[in-house]
Amino acid sequence: MGSLRILKHCSSFQRLLTCSNSFTPTPSTIQSRRYAIFPDSFIHPIFREEDQRKLIESGEAAKYAYLPVKPARTTETASVFYDDLVDKIINHIMRMGQKQLARNIIDKTIQTIKKVQLAKYYDTQDPEERAKIILNPWELLHKALENSKPFLETTPIKRGGHTYQVPVPIREKKQQALAIKWLIEAGKEKEDDMRFFVKFAYEIIEAANGTGQVIRRKQELHKKCEANRAYAHYRWS
């Protein structure tokens, strides 16, 4: 049984310790997130029907046949009511994991927008003016977000003992995050007897029209960047 003992204590453990063959992590298999259950090689699910159709039409679907997929989240459905942006806003509104509350708030906001726009629609008599009013609340929401996105911001950079506010461009993802954040903050600045979803709905409508608090905030930031344009070269020098 000597052989057995040696094999038990020497070979298997030693091979574990010396990290031979398949135990050595190769550059492609090292995980960036330590606790993630699904490794980076898993792609995010493509759950929208139109996205899948696009993949098939462009011929990329064949490539995806070899890629493992993560499970879809609860909200990621093929439902006609699913909207990427709305899903994001719900997550921004949510506090302490109360998702259903956040969903209800968004539902009420959408309802309020619809009511306000309909009232506006019936108040105006001129058919040309009427045609300009957007009645689809989701369309309005997307337009408001697009109008609220800032393109530049300032970042403090220290040069020669002074801290300069240097204008820098913002990436797409941060633009959206800032726009959502500002809209929600504007919604929270209200009288005590007003509900959040009402103020939020009005802010969205105003932003979609290119007016309101959020648009002003964006313009102020841009103005600040414009004023500090002389320091712009500190970004790279």
Partner 1 sequence: MREETRGWWRRGDARGWSYYDQGGIAPKTSTLENRVRRKDSGVEDENDSGEAKGTISKAMHAYLKRAKEHQAFIDTQEKEFVFGRRHLANMMGRDVEGFTQKDIDEAIRYLFPSGLYEPRARPMMRPPQEVYPKQKAAQFDMSGRPHHPFFYTAKPNYYYLLHEMVTKLNSLNKLAPSRSTSIIEEEEDRDSALSGSVWITKDELESRLLEKITDQMYSEWIACLERIAVHSKRDKELEFIQAYRKPLAVQTKASELPPITLEPDGRKSVHVSLCMKKSARADVLVTVPGTGEFKINGKGLDFFTLMASREAVIAPLQLSKWLGKVDVEANCEGATLAQPHVPFAGETSRAIAIRWGISTALAALGADVEKLRLAGYLVKDHRMRERKKPGKESARRTWTWKKR
Interface residues with partner 1 (CB under 8 A)? 1-4, 6-8, 10-16, 21-22, 24, 26-29, 35, 37, 44-47, 49, 52, 55, 59, 61-72, 74-79, 81-82, 99-100, 103
Q: Taking Cα atoms as reference points, which of 147, 125, 144 lies closest to residue 136? A: 144
Q: Which is nearer to partner 1, 3 or 125 (CB)?
A: 3
Q: Which is nearer to partner 1, 102 or 177 (CB)?
A: 102
Closest distance of CB 71 from partner 1, Å = 4
| Shortest Cβ 74–partner 1 spacing (Å) | 5
**Smallest gap from residue 58 Cβ to partner 1 (A):** 9
Whole-number minimum distance, CB 39 to partner 1, in Å? Answer: 13
* Residue 71 or 210 having the CB closest to partner 1: 71
14 or 155, CB closer to partner 1? 14
Distance in angstroms (rounded) separating the CA atoms of residues 199 and 209: 15
CB of 93 to partner 1, least distance (A): 15
* 32/74 with CB nearer partner 1: 74
β-sheet bridge partners, residue 65: none
Place of tokens 């310790």: 17
Which helix (H) or strand (E) segment holds residue 82: the answer is: none
Name residues whose C-beta falls within 8 Å of residue 231's C-beta, 6 or more positions apart in sequence: 157, 164, 165, 166, 167
Cβ-contact 148, 218 below 8 angstroms: yes
Residue 98 Cα distances to 69, 94, 101, 156, 166, angstroms: 28, 6, 6, 36, 38
